[in-house]
Structure 1
């Protein structure tokens, strides 16, 4: 029993050591810095990387890019680092930051494209072209002669065909067919050989991609020459910029964390979540798809969201929002808001007494809007839509069940504050 326990402990220890070796981490850091003007433009074009911005009171852009791998050997990690192709270049007015446009995994046992020789002689040379066809311009069929002479003309026409395709042509065609059969057999033999070698090399290999929408790149390889591997790759880029810097981003896959105060941002994000404390600036224009958006304070600019399950805007003072097939929640609205939703869900939790105007356009969208306690006017145009208002609100309705106009107000019918909604095939509820 004692020996069994010792053996079991040894096995567990060996397994732990094996896991530790397999899960070894390799890290590489790139650093770049540029002296810049205070209103420098910073362009970011990355894929499968987490981006974090910080502002400081220096006229300098500093970039710290880090790759961390887990599950790759030191040699494999080194090859991956080289292929990331991180680049940072710029001058006082413009700094550009980019990475390789896509996944670049380096797996043991899997040949890489750059290692393929420039010329590959796999298939034998193509056979010669067939013999040239004889002149058949004199073989046109005379239908009128056939109607007149019948079978006699048909026999004459057949003899012309036989004369055109003489013995020399038939001999050439036979030789060409023989050569074609020979070359075809060589091609089949080569293809079978290549197929057997590939099947032997990659037998039972299974590559499973595990990367989440916003998490690290992950791949698990089972079988084949590599045995079993679980690979994780995390790429992070920290960018320090002057407070008045302008951002232009094109980010695919990852996470974007904006600086504490971010102004005049132009960004296109896909599968890249957006986190920000404050977004401001009339020039701000952000379009994001397939990943969450969380902004504590949105004070200006345009936001377009496509197929986003979670859009959470905490405090909004000025907003132009376009929502396509997304779920949007506005925590508190003050100032002015323009919201357009198509096949979406919209919730406005509270509207402050200092709001000026809220304009909403709904198309096949469900919306819940909690009305303010201050005075305001309400105007709703409903087209094949359901509209519900609270009893405390004074309203009048006109039209029919398909198209209706609802007018109402709270406290003052001539209030300068206004909420207008156009709803088409939508469900709208006011509270």
Structure 2
């Protein structure tokens, strides 16, 4: 960890805007991510919310193995403690949900004292507990002996608390970064050249790249068949200090999914997250066109409805009664391009909410995934590319080939029609960046 006390973190964090993922400015999620990164050594990718909103941190807990190892989940009726993470559901007060860090034990007048960000810079405020989803409590809180406060007091100077490895110091010089350090008495100097969105290492004994992430730099490198990330903390203008290595091979998801392979299950997890926030019963709100977790549309809706019919005959019979025109097309194999009526959308939502029907959607996506072009051998890059292909097959075919996951994300966003969908591809990228490449995702 970088901070040795909670109070030192509060002192260094409040009254500033924090944007750790570089997307959509300083959101409440960024403060949560900063807390995890600074105080518990997580990477930004391990802090992502699969729903795209702050509430997903609580409602989809554990969102990563690292989060599950670091925090326990408590209900909204628990007594909050200093250092807890408070999460609010969607409400009139928080239309996009909310997340903040608790500064004081207990509640007062139906409010809790928190460090909160968005729309203002991170600040010490009291917020209503109305709409609260619950709390995430650190399993090993930092503590600080301050007696509950959050106000004042000389904090510690942030510094890495673990032995430093090779490449412990970064210095930026115009279009390059020099990474220096020593190990076993030997000095090491590595050079990284500026790219469009990252810094790529010049050929050498190690191959890596540096990703800017708010006030930190993330060093990604492959070595001896594994992939790892090191976090470097800003200590001055163009200067960063390194800390211990995070081995991404242990950063996969902690709960098994249900699929015929971990790759397909994780592919559906990523596509389903960005298409529907993992809702099996989702119907596209704008025009009642796309349906299901992967938002199948037009004639492809008949395919997934057929799969659901096979998986859940009982639910199908009810749907057939309520949406006879669509059911007739499923059974006859006709053409289906029109939008659903509201009655048909309601019938689908009722059917798709039945757990028995979910296997039909899983089977359809498995069939889809196997039929998509194999563009990359690397599973992570293939899934990210498939996320684009699922949205626009023609557009995905025009995306320039990439050599890293980050480069592929940027190539997608620089290709029509994907440019306006920054949140979609940042979310997909973060989910894949945190994945160990073999574990199935959390149950959904």
TM tier, smaller: under 0.3
**Using CA pairs below 8 Å that are at least 6 residues apart, which structure has the higher relative contact order?**
2
Compare the two structures and name the one with the higher strand fraction.
1
TM-score, length-normalised on structure 2? Answer: 0.20
Larger Rg: 1
Compare the two structures and name the one with the higher helix fraction.
2
